[in-house]
Chains A and B, each alone.
Chain A
């Protein structure tokens, strides 16, 4: 045994510098500890404790101690050792590496066990050391974002440091945002500024900031939150159409997915507004309860505005403009998020499709004379109400804009949130009006709009357009819609498979048509758009687009005041389009001048929703009877309604008055009608385009009484070809009415356009 010891004792007599020798000692001690750590960690620690008493100034010994505790994730002892190292070896790069790992864990939202341990470790350190560590770690950061996040950790933990660093950090972030030339306010710098730094600054009681700065920050916050809420989803929907839009992930460049989420943005904005308001000594109670309350308060405040001067006036102005603007943008967003949900990423677009605000045409089937009278009457009434001698001309938009009491009709089952939506629309309009009630307010508001570039916010333009349509400023609305169609023009190849983009594009066109109609400009214009590969589009393309080329001298707001919010589906839009055309031809057909073509079109169009238009049809028959003859060569192509056929068959009979009916097209058309017709769009199955059930019902009932009907016509001795045509036509009763009307629109568009004034 002794021999072993002697061997062990085989020291060499050599001279090494003391430094070298001490280093060897330390290496020996650390090595022994490392050898033991896995099998007997207690022994390893005993070695290191001993080693540290021998060489307290040796970094590696302490680091080894730390590593053992850190690897075992013993928070308290590791924290203690880290503290010692931080105090005793502040210049060691390894310590700094360690600290940066820990601060990274603090910044990250990683929930794994080790990250949590590192965060816990940091928590064990005394506050002073935490503060110093964060400051030093911040100094070592070169990346603005990381540096800001680090400093933010400091500010969150040590509110007293907010006074010193808060505003600087905020300004640094805003500068970084500006210098990076980011296109959207929803960027990492702004997010950090608005969500993290700003609350610290404004809530710190020791901070005294000038009102102008606070308002500047307030607007920065508002711009961010509005931008966040209304963020569009352009990329995602194109790339992955199958993914539900509500669940789409949104990541702000430079941030993690989790920190990209902003919970309850409107509420946060309201919180900031409340604090800023209190700090700027705004009028009214300190806690802003809700956006609606806020609008009420600034409305009241507005009454005093003209009497105020100087400082007080400008403070009051700021308050009104900021509050009203926020209410405006929030309410407008809420409205547009229902009407055009697909625009926003944060809104579940699947809940309902787009909606479209149009003139209500439901009274189109009513008698044209009655209608005229009613309109005249309304006109008179309006004149009386205004107390001024004013004629309602299309240029007189001022007058129409007074239409405050206009109703917006909505199908309540199709839009469950109809009440909230209409409320939002109203609140937004009121805010807008308030902002434009004084020059001072308008100037301020325009400044905000300019700095936020609200002109480029498509969603806001949609609201504005609907608002001016509501106000009856159709001319303005048209120019706005023109701009929108230009913006929304789908790029070839970017067509989304669902046809959504195209439908939204046509949404603007349909609205234009409605506006033109409201202005009394009825020139159907089949635009040359070629996206007709689905029947939805072809319907809409064909029917909806009315563009002015001439002005009709007869200018009336024919359909009164009501508006209608319709779902933007072909099922809902097609009737509107048909009604729109009907309304146009109706006016022409029933003038004192004879216009058989228009009258024929009216008859064709009246088939839809039969027998809604029965009265009008009978009026048309009356007119034919008065004329004694009627020429409409398209009759057998497009009239398949059995009641109408029966009526026309009857007109030729002596009992019917032997009316001269020239309804036959050329021979070829009779023989091979489908050669001249475009392929039926209904060969493609589409649930949207199935005709309404009542169409089938009508057809079935017609089939069942066909024989009777036909014999009634023939046995009265009509000409053979007419008889044949009638027989053939009766056999077509089962044809889908929508496809018949669709063909009518497609094939006859030139005639239709020409026959319009």
Chain B
């Protein structure tokens, strides 16, 4: 295919690109026909793509070939119809990778730029085959680039053109796979560490509404990925669950920070309350967890595949702990409000951990939980989740909630750093007995009995 370079050189940029796309199509068709496994596009061809479509300079001497905006639009249109008309998935997929697989070279920048425009256009005009290819791309590519693509799309549809978000909304039905990967990418992108990394309201509303329509949407990639398929290193998570949990847990604190900032800036614009949105999103996430046991069992993965990884969770809890500290320090005026929001964040964390664990999305012991949550302030529910449910002696129905065969109810004393240890000498009992309906003063203070998994219960 290298021999066509000479015929391309004299052409103008657009017709050269067109010609190359045409030849690429034929070349890949032959490649697939030949049955060579795996079909591999040769380097020469990739170089031609870089030279005539992405316009990466071949060598320093060559004059840079550039397309004007109109030519670029025309090229995008040609590419759109090229993918649309190709009926064979394999060919289409190979073509997409030949064009957009990152090569770790100079051309990657223009590659990303062109990809962003192509996908954005495909969303606008509903080119499903391109979205499907892009979904695969999002599965195979390093998350840094995935996030970049996501950002382009969010900018295009949520920021640049007001009202165009409804177009993006439709990808849920046109290409659920792409939609799922898109959610994973934005959930990775927006970590709520800064205002810039806080999801725009339109995006949030859209995701909430997607999930309310069908919570299974976020599991599409996971459902379609074969068991053997090893995930490329540093690619996006298999599901957006981890990212969404992070959103929901951090949101009460992150948005309060934003609010405070906007107040200090004197901006009086009235942002709609995102609280209910995150509440709904959080519920959807929990509902997705509830779907997992069946799916995992069907795939024979129950107890073997952790859709929530411990490391990001540990990062989340330490992040949260830091945020809570900050909140504690900076707020004096509205401490009740702050306290409520902090508790909300902790409640959600506890709920996500518990439900994920119970449904096989999180594979760890209660002890592991206590370890990663050790620095967090007290929260009744979190306390309950860390200690685990009391096992009734006469109740045989309660299934095991942790997948670690041991230690789910190990005594708290094995965890000296736990801040809420009831017998900790620095924390004497403060709650007045009278106001504590669950207190039973007639029972002697006694740390443990054998068979008693966890000596204290939350103060209800």
Contacts and interface: CB of A to CB of B under 8 A. Distances in A.
**Interface range for B:** 35 or more
Nearest to B431: A10
Interface in B360-410: 377-381, 384-385, 388-395, 397-399, 401
Contacts of A54: 354, 358, 384-385, 388-389, 401
B420 interface: yes
A53 B395 CA distance: 15
Contact of A53 (B401, B420, B445): B401
Contacts of A10: 427-431, 436, 459
B288 to A, nearest CB: 11
A25 B385 CA distance: 11
A46 B390 contact: no
Nearest to B422: A11
A10 B422 CA distance: 7
Interface in A555-614: none
A18 B358 contact: no
A27 B460 contact: yes
A745 B422 CA distance: 115
Given A9-B427, A42-B279, A57 B384 contact: no
A5 B377 contact: yes
A405 B392 CA distance: 94
B429 A11 contact: yes
A4 interface: yes
Interface string A5-24: 11111111111101101101
Contacts of B390: 18-19, 21-22, 25
B445 A13 contact: yes
A54 B356 CA distance: 11
B431 A15 contact: no
Contacts of A13: 422-423, 429, 445-447, 455-456
Interface in B402-460: 419-420, 422-423, 427-431, 433, 436, 438-447, 449, 451-452, 455-460
A54 B393 CA distance: 15
A14 B444 CA distance: 6
A50 interface: yes
Interface string B313-344: 00000000000000010000001001100101
A47 interface: yes
Contacts of B385: 50, 54
Contacts of B335: 1
A79 to B, nearest CB: 16
B398 A18 contact: no
A12 B439 contact: yes
B94 interface: no
A43 interface: yes
B103 to A, nearest CB: 45
A5 B378 CA distance: 5
Given A12-B440, A14-B443, A1 B452 contact: no
A28 B354 contact: no
B446 A15 contact: yes
Contact of A28 (B388, B429, B456, B458): B458
B280 A31 contact: no
B45 interface: no
B101 interface: no
A40 interface: yes
B221 interface: no
B441 A12 contact: yes
A657 B399 CA distance: 130
A50 B354 contact: yes
Contacts of A284: none
A9 B428 CA distance: 9
A56 interface: yes
B389 A22 contact: yes
Given A4-B339, A50-B350, A15 B279 contact: no
A55 B443 CA distance: 25
B395 to A, nearest CB: 5
B41 interface: no
B348 interface: yes
B377 A1 contact: yes
A46 B457 contact: no
Contact of A8 (B276, B279, B348, B459): B459
Given A25-B458, A49-B290, A53-B354, 11 more contacts: A11-B458, A13-B446, A14-B442, A18-B390, A25-B457, A27-B460, A29-B381, A49-B283, A50-B286, A50-B354, A55-B389
24 contacts: A1-B339, A11-B457, A13-B447, A14-B442, A14-B443, A18-B390, A18-B451, A19-B390, A22-B391, A25-B389, A25-B457, A25-B460, A27-B460, A28-B438, A28-B460, A40-B275, A40-B276, A43-B282, A43-B347, A45-B283, A46-B282, A50-B286, A50-B355, A53-B358
